[in-house]
Amino acid sequence: MTVQELPSPPAQASRPRRKKVSYAEAPKPRDVEELCEQYAAVCESAVHPLEIASALEFDGLNDPAARKRYGVSDVFTLAEEMYRRVPRRPTEPEPTPDPWRVSKLRPALHGLLYGLPTVCFAAADKLLLGHGVQTILVVSLLTSWALSQALAYLGYLRLGQGLPVQAKRVMLAGLGAGLVGVLIAMGAMAMLMTVQIPALLFGLGLGAYMLGATVILVLGEERLLFLSLAPGVLSAIVFLLLGRPEHLERFAWGALGATPLLAVGLAVACTIKAADVRGRSRSRRLGAKPEPLVTAADLRKAWPSAAFGLVAGGLLVFPVAATMPGHGGTNTGALIASLPLALSMGAAEWMLVWFRRRSQRLLRQTRELRAFAARAQLTLIAAALQYLGANALMTIAVISIAYRSQLVHMDWTLLFQIVAYMAIGCSLFLALLLQGFGFRIFPLAACTAALGIEVVFRHWGVFGQVKICAELLLVLAAYAGWVLGGPARHAS
């Protein structure tokens, strides 16, 4: 698939560049008009008459020559006259390589990778019955989301610094620490409440998969993640299509368990195959002090990412957890409503790139601040509407398939859950967009407040969820339109 390219700035195509001619080398102009023609390139690009005066003096035109030949008192007066006569038409800079050129296929693949694990939840519905299953799943999701977001930030930080080997070492160490964290969380749940072993294993596998998938995605090995998802997703689809037969439950459990094991194993393979083992051993022999993988400053910068992962996970999990039946298990209707949101994250990723490229183009084409602000805000609205459109199409497709497969029965509650999840998805899209421009605290605070209100007023039911999610969307949209209307943030 071809990649879009930014067109060259229009000024380059409409006006050829003039070659600068030295005053000393060229024939002496008879009047100021000819002198302006000779120094047209300097005059058009000058932001002050001093630039023109410097160019004249550099080429040997002094005050006596200016008085004798052009009838002015000095060179600066001549430069002011030239600055007044020649309109400003600054030379456009050479177009820089577009850093946001990515294939459209990659975000689409990411969308599949985000959405396919949801099928495993639907297949595990009958396998996860019992007391405490709801709590185990929620704790596992929140823990792994927070840890994976922090791990992704540290990995991208090292890659952005041009240190791929250190990035892999950080990811390997972070994967081990994250697995320990998930294990501790599941162990604490086992000590605090009575739960069945399958539920604990599913929670541990869920956390392990998310951490392994994070490492694989950060390192750009998406194909390996498809390989790790294959046994769990394919077996889940077969199990669902056959009506969840009891004699295939053990097979389904085994296939679901293979996915996190593969994800972790492939993630370890990706990190250790280029590990700087020789360099580290050589530095030990030479007595050099090894540099720390992660500094305290890195951890301070990573905490907003971890907190946002925790809060975003809460926003996604709470509508499902709040409607779970009291006897345990998962609510298939709510999970079906959340599947399009997971799939739409690929569209959100592409819309982020799309907005970045359009804003860079506006920087080159817009001369006035007010015009830039208006066009940037319109571009933001267009990006949000395109994301909502993609989310709506995916929602219609998923619900149609689920309804025809008799996995879910349509009712008004499911419709409101779909609306709530669409609002959450657009809110997360805006939050990620703001984080990409360096605004990390406000999206975190807004999402935290929305989650807190949703938990406190959970008795409002699905109507309250829709209301709170819509308000969060409006707040983030207003803030994004305000802060992204200036050109300073888009220049980086």
pLDDT, tens digit (0-9, with 9 covering 90-100), for 357-383: 888 888 777 777 788 888 889 999 999
Residues 218, 211 contacting (CB under 8 angstroms): no
Query: What does the pLDDT average to over 308-328?
Result: 71
Q: Which band of pLDDT confidence, cut at 50, 70 and 90, is reported for residue 95?
A: low
Judge whether residue 91 has pLDDT over 80: no
Which band of pLDDT confidence, cut at 50, 70 and 90, is reported for residue 480?
A: very high
* Structure confidence at residue 380 (pLDDT): 92
Mean pLDDT over the full length of the chain: 79
HSE of 51 in the Cβ direction (CA atoms, 13 Å)? Answer: 12
Ranking 78-87, 133-142, 198-207 by mean pLDDT, the lowest is: 133-142
Q: Please give the pLDDT value at position 12.
A: 38
pLDDT beyond 80 at 490: no
What 3-state DSSP class applies to 328? Answer: strand
pLDDT at residue 302 is higher than 60: yes
Judge whether 384 and 477 are in contact, CB under 8 Å: yes
- Please tell me which of 288-292, 316-320, 420-424 the model is most confident about, judged by mean pLDDT: 420-424
256 neighbors 235 (Cβ within 8 angstroms): yes
Backbone angles phi, psi at 327, to 5 degrees: -85, 0
Nearest-angstrom CA–CA distance, 163 and 406: 50
Task: Please give the pLDDT value at position 130.
Answer: 62
| Rounded Cα–Cα distance for residues 389 and 75 (Å) | 62
pLDDT level of residue 220 (50, 70, 90 thresholds): confident
Nearest CA among 45, 49, 29 for reference residue 87? 45
Tell me the CA end-to-end span of the chain in Å, nearest whole number. 28
Distance separating alpha carbons of residues 284 and 69, to the nearest angstrom: 75
Q: How confident is the model at residue 180 (pLDDT cuts 50, 70, 90)?
A: very high
Residue 457: CB atoms within 10 A of its CB come to: 13
The more confident residue out of 244 and 280 is 244
Which pLDDT score, from 0 to 100, does residue 216 have?
A: 92
In this predicted structure, the answer to whether residue 120 has a pLDDT above a threshold of 80 is: no
* Interval 420-438 mean pLDDT: 89
Banded model confidence at residue 11, pLDDT cuts 50, 70, 90: very low
Q: Are 357 and 100 in contact (CB under 8 A)?
A: yes
Percent pLDDT > 70 in the chain is 78
Lookup: tokens for 480: 């994004």
Closest CA to 474 of 466, 463, 485: 466
Confidence of residue 448 (pLDDT cuts 50, 70, 90): very high
pLDDT given at position 441: 93
DSSP letter, residue 89: -
Report, as an integer, the average pLDDT of 263-284: 68
pLDDT exceeds 90 at position 45: no
What's the pLDDT band for 179 if we cut at 50, 70, 90? very high
- 23, pLDDT greater than 50: no
Q: Where are the beta strands (DSSP E) in 213-348?
A: none
Average pLDDT over residues 326-343: 60
- What pLDDT, on the 0 to 100 scale, is given for residue 326? 39
What does the pLDDT average to over 149-164?
A: 89
Query: In the numeric block, which tokens belong to residue 459?
Result: 């008795």
**114-133: average pLDDT:** 70
Whether pLDDT at 16 is above 70: no
Q: At 63, which amino acid appears?
A: D
Segment 34-62 shows an average pLDDT of: 85
* CA torsion, ordered 55, 58, 64, 66, to nearest 10 deg: -20
